[in-house]
Amino acid sequence: MSERGAGTENGTMTVLDLPRHRWARVDRVEGEDTLCRRLLEMGFTPGECIRLVAAAPFHNPVAVNLRGTVFALRDNEAFCLKVCLME
């Protein structure tokens, strides 16, 4: 799980910046403690592959594909997920 995706622009991208239907890896989870723990326990762990499935206007909420399911996240939750695009 150590390899990082190509084109990592020093890992500042969040889920909100992702193009639709492109795979990305979770780089790190940053933000308020309880929210981060919740996201991690739900399976948003660093190294995991995720994909933006759909986004409502203003990217709030967004639908993110993770480990066989899809989650609806508000923008503040999605903002905690720092990602980098794969390939």
The residues of the shown chain that bind other proteins, judged by CB under 8 A, are 1, 23, 29, 32, 34-43, 45-51, 53-58, 60-61, 63, 65-74, 76-77
**What distance in Å separates the CA atoms of residue 21 and residue 23, rounded to the nearest whole number?**
7
Considering the complex, what minimum distance in angstroms separates the CB of residue 10 from other proteins?
20
Beta carbon nearer to other proteins, 17 or 23? 23
DSSP secondary structure string for all residues of 7-71: T-STT--BGGGPPTT-EEEEEEE-S-HHHHHHHHHTT--TT-EEEEEEE-GGG-SEEEEETTEEE
Residue closer to other proteins (CB basis): 13 or 44: 44
Closest CB 68 distance from other proteins, rounded Å: 4
The least distance separating other proteins from the CB of residue 77, rounded to whole angstroms, comes to: 6
